[in-house]
């Protein structure tokens, strides 16, 4: 006897202070496998609601009343490690992009993208991919590579023990890039990236990449 198993919907939460935008996003991501489970108009409202709902994907505007979207990411990312946070904003400024990714976002989208592209991005984020246009990803990688030259100033002896290339890989890894994207950034193979990551985890004494990234954010 075959028992039918109901597939679990991809659960999405949206934080945006404009009702029209929330309605448009809700319509854009409507699909048999995607469910909008919660909405909030401010970061303050979103804090508790997101922790209660624990969505698979959290879409966050940057320009919010009170605490901005980057501040919300900084608060929520450590508390919701399984939630993929994606910025959805009108701003394409580099400092917003870098800050959001540094604090735990895994994607950055601008509101001029097509509805079908938003739905694809939500599914990609849930699948563990970087949800970001190629041109923006190229800018991000360029800025991160430039910023990662040399060793970090840190009070953590384990971080200080990393080689220059390991520091570069860890910093880019902490921004949510995949092994393939890291390899492309440094012109090395994905296997070489895996070797660097394995060495980083061993030197830091952590279990996984998320813990390594948090160690860098805390002490790097």
Residue-range domain boundaries for the chain: 10-132, 143-219
Instruction: Calculate the average pLDDT of the chain.
Output: 87
Q: Is the pLDDT of residue 152 over 70?
A: no
What is the average pLDDT across 188-204?
A: 91
Asked, colleague to colleague, whether 10-132 and 143-219 share their fold, the answer is: no
Coil vs helix vs strand at 163: coil
Q: Are 89 and 111 in contact (CB under 8 A)?
A: yes
pLDDT of residue 5: 40
Q: Binning pLDDT at 50, 70 and 90, where does residue 163 land?
A: confident
Q: Under CATH, which architecture does the 143-219 domain have?
A: Orthogonal Bundle (1.10)
Q: Which of 33-42, 118-127, 187-196 has the lowest mean pLDDT?
A: 187-196
* Res. 196: pLDDT tops 70: yes
- Per the listing, tokens 């910093």 go with 171
Q: Are 198 and 212 in contact (CB under 8 A)?
A: no
Q: Nearest to residue 17, comparing CAs of 136, 111, 119?
A: 111
pLDDT digits (tens, 9 = 90+) for 41-73: 999 999 999 999 999 999 999 999 999 999 999
Query: Which residues, including other chains, have CB under 8 Å from residue 33's CB and lie 6 or more apart?
Result: 7, 9, 10, 123
Give the total residue count for the chain.
220
Task: Tell me the pLDDT band of 1, cut-offs 50, 70 and 90.
Answer: very low
Strands (DSSP E) found in the chain: 10-15, 34-40, 57-60, 84-89, 107-110
Q: Which of 120, 58, 53 is nearest to 84 (CA)?
A: 58
Residue 199: Cβ-neighbour burial (10 angstroms; 0-12, 13-18, 19+): middle
Q: Which CATH class is domain 10-132?
A: alpha beta
CA-CA distance, 59 to 138, in Å (whole number)? 22
Q: How far apart are CA 193 and CA 186, in angstroms?
A: 9
Q: Please tell me the predicted confidence (pLDDT) of residue 160.
A: 84
């Amino acid at each position: 006897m075959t028992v039918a198993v109901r597939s679990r919907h991809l659960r999405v939460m949206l934080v945006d202070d404009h009702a029209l935008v929330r309605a448009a996003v809700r319509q854009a991501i409507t699909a048999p496998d995607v469910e909008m489970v919660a909405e909030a108009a401010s970061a303050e409202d979103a804090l508790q609601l997101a922790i209660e709902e624990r969505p698979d994907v959290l879409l966050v505007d940057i320009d919010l009343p009170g605490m901005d979207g980057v501040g919300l990411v900084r608060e929520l990312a450590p508390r919701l490690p399984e939630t993929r946070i994606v910025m959805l904003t009108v701003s394409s400024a580099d400092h917003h992009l870098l800050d959001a990714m540094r604090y735990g976002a895994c994607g950055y989208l601008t509101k001029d993208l097509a509805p079908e592209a938003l739905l694809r991005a939500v599914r990609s984020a849930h699948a563990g991919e970087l949800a970001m246009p190629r041109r923006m990803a190229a800018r991000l990688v360029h800025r991160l590579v430039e910023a990662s030259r040399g060793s970090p100033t840190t009070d953590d002896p384990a971080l200080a023990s990393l080689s220059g290339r390991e520091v570069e890989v860890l910093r880019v890894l902490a921004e949510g890039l995949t092994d393939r994207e890291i390899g492309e950034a440094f012109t090395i193979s994905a296997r070489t990236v895996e070797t660097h990551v394995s060495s980083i985890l061993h030197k830091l004494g952590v279990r996984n990449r998320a813990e390594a990234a948090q160690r860098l954010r805390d002490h790097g």
